[in-house]
């Protein structure tokens, strides 16, 4: 039996890039610089582990330090127009995925998907709270600069830098229709899977159905809810979406974070 010298749980850090009306942009250097700050990583000793090692000559007890810290694993971007990813170096990739969206939606409806609307207009009304957002989730460029760089004292990352984990344009059928999740209990029962709380007056939006449409008058809050939906999808396996799961495999001395869940503070993820 081999001894794992140091045990550590890994926590996921999700970096969200929102694209407002002014189409602000962010580049890879800025993303990397923002993730290297101590306030982002929050490395700390969180306990001691005891290991019972047994062999032909008896058993011995060994100890190891348990450390906990965050890792920047994925950049989630939300934006309004197809191909409008605010991450400068990834904008072209988003545009290529947008071409696939037009092909898929055209096959179903013979219509061009076009871009998302800042506000979806309804005849007879000047303004509505219904919004539509595109979203991408791409492996954080600095995830390997931090993860596992100090053997035994830093967690390895489950993510691959610049790996596409989710493009809403490739998931266009579910992302635009909300099916089949519109019929899930989480979508039909008030108070289930909501970002914020209606009772506390801090309601930002519902997680289900995990689509690009959301009822929210505040554009920044709408973007945040959509980003949370994307994180919810990619941190789970077997979801009815087109995506690449981002899920660490638990091994001796290594505890990856649980699936992303809203309203849990910084228990297993932070933005």
Q: List per-residue pLDDT tens for the chain, 271 residues long.
A: 334 445 555 566 666 666 554 557 899 999 999 888 888 888 899 999 999 999 898 999 999 889 999 999 999 999 998 889 999 999 988 888 776 666 666 665 544 455 555 565 555 555 678 999 999 999 999 999 887 777 778 888 999 999 999 999 999 999 999 999 999 999 999 889 999 988 888 999 999 999 999 999 999 999 999 999 999 999 999 999 999 999 998 888 888 889 999 999 888 888 8
pLDDT of residue 107: 60
User: In sequence order, what E strands does the chain have?
Assistant: 8-18, 44-55, 58-79, 130-132, 134-139, 164-167, 194-195, 205-206, 213-215, 254-255, 269-270
User: Tell me, what's the pLDDT at 128?
Assistant: 72
Global pTM value: 0.86
CA dist 83 to 15, 100, 114, 159, 165, Å? 19, 11, 10, 23, 16
What pLDDT is attached to residue 1?
35
* Amino acid 24: pLDDT: 72
């Amino acid at each position: 039996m081999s001894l794992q010298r140091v045990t550590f749980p890994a926590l996921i850090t999700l970096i969200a890039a929102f694209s407002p009306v002014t189409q602000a942009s962010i580049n890879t250097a800025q993303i990397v610089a923002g993730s290297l700050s101590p306030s982002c990583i929050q490395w700390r000793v969180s306990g001691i582990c005891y290991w019972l090692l047994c062999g032909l000559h008896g058993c011995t007890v060994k100890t190891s330090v348990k450390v906990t810290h965050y890792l920047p694993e994925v950049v989630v971007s939300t934006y309004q127009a197809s191909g409008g990813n605010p991450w400068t170096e990834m904008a072209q990739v988003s545009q290529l995925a947008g071409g696939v969206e037009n092909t898929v939606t055209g096959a179903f409806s013979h219509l061009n998907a076009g871009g998302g609307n800042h506000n979806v207009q309804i005849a007879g009304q000047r303004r509505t709270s219904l919004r539509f957002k595109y979203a991408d989730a791409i492996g954080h460029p600095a995830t390997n600069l931090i993860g596992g760089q100090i053997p035994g004292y830093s967690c390895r990352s489950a993510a691959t830098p610049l790996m596409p984990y989710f493009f809403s344009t490739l998931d266009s059928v579910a992302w635009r229709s909300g099916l089949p999740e519109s019929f899930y209990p989480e979508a039909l029962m008030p108070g289930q899977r909501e970002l914020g709380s209606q009772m506390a007056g801090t309601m930002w939006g519902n997680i289900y159905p995990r689509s690009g449409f959301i009822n929210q008058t505040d554009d920044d809050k709408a973007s945040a809810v959509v980003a949370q939906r994307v994180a919810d999808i990619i941190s789970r396996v077997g979801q009815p979406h087109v995506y690449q799961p981002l899920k660490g495999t638990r091994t001796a001395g290594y505890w990856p974070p649980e699936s992303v869940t809203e309203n849990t503070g910084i228990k297993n993820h932070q933005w």
